[in-house]
Amino acid sequence: MIFCISPNPALDHTLVVPAFKAGTVLRAQSSLAAAGGKGLNVARAAQILGAHTLSFSFLGGHTGRLIADYAQQESLEGDWTWIDGETRTCVIVTDAQTGEATVINEQGPQVTDGDWVRLHETVLHQIAQATDICFSGSLPPNSPIERYVALVSAARDAGKRVWVDTSSAPLHAALPITGITIKINGDEAGGILGHTVSTPELAVAAAYEFQKRGTGNVVITLGKDGAVMVHPSGRWWAKPPAVVVQDPIGSGDSFLAGLVTAYSAGLTPDVALKHAVAAGAANATTVGGGDFPLETFKHILAETTIKSI
């Protein structure tokens, strides 16, 4: 089973408009409300790819109850940590002509130290079921970063494969944790290292630089140019075919879902990277984070290239 931990989930409200222009009145062609946040997107995509998942998130208020209901309707099993306050809503406006998305993220509710203790206990209570544990997305405002580090470390110490996809302070806190895999995009990697990471060759060099600093395995995504993995058994670059982008939101989460489900199925790291890239590209062809037809994934997978680099 894959555990998907998303401390700062959201009710994602996606609006598709014919042509986005700021400062005007627009009428949506379609809209979609879903249980969102990066971890729930990972869970949704992983289940499309055949995995069994269990999600863990802080939920609160009317919005939190809506998220729990939407998750249940999608058969996304969750063990929620209920808090005071209101879970955030995120608005995504997708331009039907260009495929570009504008995202407005609320910060999220305040979460106490005691709430983090309860989340930690909830995850550890069921951790024997997990093969892989994904930590995805941001933290609620003023979260005690040491609690996040303690939970990531506890998952690793339990002998599980641990995957971290976050940014800002949580990313900096996770980088020194050995024995885990960090998934990061080229812009984030470049921001930390102080130089551009825009090509596969630069991504490989960046991954080695992270590892010299004590980071574990590193996977760096490069948008339409695919992704690079540096692993003890090799280093590879996978690239998807060109696709018509409908909505890019959730492609990074689908990438992680493809990677983790392939690992949990016993596939080799290079093949897992290929699955990850194909899942990320498949997500971009549809509206909604972590949601795509399985047949689209299979078609893109067949045309995804991979080579040692």
Q: Quick: pLDDT tens for 176-202.
A: 999 999 999 999 999 999 999 999 999
In the prediction, which pLDDT does 249 show? 93
Full DSSP string of 175-189: TT-TT-EEEEEHHHH
Q: CA-CA distance, 87 to 77, in Å (whole number)?
A: 18
What is the residue type of 237?
W
User: What digits encode the pLDDT tens for the residues 157-182?
Assistant: 999 999 999 999 999 999 999 999 99
Q: Which token pair is 152?
A: 């990531």
Contact 161, 134 (CB under 8 A): no
In the prediction, which pLDDT does 217 show? 87
Q: Which token pair is 79?
A: 């063990």
Q: CA-CA distance, 202 to 206, in Å (whole number)?
A: 6
User: What digits encode the pLDDT tens for the residues 73-131?
Assistant: 999 999 999 999 999 999 999 999 898 999 999 999 999 999 999 999 999 999 999 99
Q: Which of 231, 195, 228 is nearest to 309 (CA)?
A: 228
Give the predicted TM-score (pTM) of the model: 0.95
Round the average pLDDT of the chain to a whole number and report it.
Answer: 95
In the prediction, which pLDDT does 17 show? 94
Contact 81, 115 (CB under 8 A): yes
Give the 3-state secondary structure percentages of the chain, helix then strand then coil, rounded to 5. Answer: 40, 25, 35
Contact 10, 104 (CB under 8 A): no
Q: Which of 172, 181, 165, 110 is nearest to 146 (CA)?
A: 172
Adjacent-strand bridge partners of 3: 54, 133
Q: CA-CA distance, 262 to 198, in Å (whole number)?
A: 26
The answer as to CATH 3.40.1190.20 being correct for domain 2-308 is: yes
Full DSSP string of 123-186: HHHHGGG-SEEEEES---TT--HHHHHHHHHHHHHTT-EEEEE--HHHHHHHTT-TT-EEEEEH
The strand ranges marked E within the chain are 2-5, 10-17, 30-36, 53-56, 58-59, 81-82, 88-95, 101-105, 132-136, 161-165, 181-185, 217-221, 227-231, 234-239, 305-308
User: What digits encode the pLDDT tens for the residues 268-278?
Assistant: 999 999 999 99
Q: CA-CA distance, 184 to 196, in Å (whole number)?
A: 14
Helices (H) then strands (E): counts for the chain: 10, 15
Cα dihedral: 53, 59, 61, 67 (round 10): -20
* DSSP SS3 for 194: coil
Domain ranges of the chain: 2-308
